[in-house]
Amino acid sequence: MRKFTGSELLVASHNTGKIEEIAHLLEPFGITVRAASEFGLDEPEETETTFVGNARIKAHHAAKATGLPALADDSGLSVDALDGDPGVYTADWAETGEGRDFVMAMGKVHDALLTRGAKQPWSAKFCCTLVLAWPDGHDNVFPGEVHGTISWPPRGRNGHGYDPIFIANGHSITFGEMDRWEKNKMSHRADAFEKLTSALGA
């Protein structure tokens, strides 16, 4: 596995909440996060049907465009009773044509569960696949997951995306009710980052 030895890392994302989480997770390693917006990078079309495929598209696009190592993630909510949906289309379920509405998206998840007559508890997981790519085309892949259940109605204003309807196993509050930095310690992204640390430093 190739090691990353730099002090700055480009994060191929325009999601402010995601960039803040990644910056917080990398802070102990003395790594400064640079956002894609600082370089005026566009968002490439995500044409793959897997988390790793879409993360690779974003990471390699950013690395080749800037000549810098780039980190990208593709993440989403996978609900067992919905055959893994929304999955890689997690963000698409929130699209309105004028932006993303995650309140609407959470409602879609709930409506789909009721339509299928799915019995509670509604088991689900958040998935995150990190890809660290270099301009020469090499990459390292780090998958992460956190398992739990879907809760209704939504609770909490912290976090982002579908956090207000997800309760991680062993907890009684949603990610939306949890302190964001506490959530960062045990989230799907934290699981992937724990594996990423093997590629940081000498």
Contact 2, 63 (CB under 8 A): no
Q: Give the integer Cα–Cα distance in Å for 83 and 76.
A: 14
Query: Of these residues, 42, 73, 74, 163, which one is catalytic?
Result: 74
User: At which residue do the structure tokens 């998935």 appear?
Assistant: 127
Instruction: Kindly state whether residue 28 falls inside one of the protein's structural domains.
Output: yes
Least confident of 5-9, 72-76, 83-87, 135-139: 5-9
> Could you tell me which of 33, 36, 35, 59 has the C-alpha nearest to residue 46?
59
Instruction: Kindly state whether residue 24 falls inside one of the protein's structural domains.
Output: yes
Q: Specify the number of domains making up the chain.
A: 1
CATH of the domain at 124: 3.90.950.10
Taking residues 136-160, report their average pLDDT. 95
Instruction: Kindly state whether residue 177 falls inside one of the protein's structural domains.
Output: yes
Task: Give the model confidence (pLDDT) of 18-40 as tens digits.
Answer: 888 788 888 888 999 999 999 99
Instruction: Kindly state whether residue 2 falls inside one of the protein's structural domains.
Output: no
pLDDT of residue 130: 96
What pTM did the predictor assign? 0.86
Structural domain of 88: 8-199
> Could you tell me which of 72, 153, 146 has the C-alpha nearest to residue 113?
153
Task: Give the model confidence (pLDDT) of 152-199 as tens digits.
Answer: 999 999 988 999 999 999 999 999 999 988 898 899 988 998 899 877
Active site (annotated) includes residue 74:
yes
Instruction: Kindly state whether residue 1 falls inside one of the protein's structural domains.
Output: no
pLDDT of residue 201: 61
Radius of gyration of the chain (CA): 17
Q: How far is CA 70 from the centre of its chain?
A: 15
Instruction: Kindly state whether residue 3 falls inside one of the protein's structural domains.
Output: no
Taking residues 92-120, report their average pLDDT. 96
Instruction: Kindly state whether residue 168 falls inside one of the protein's structural domains.
Output: yes
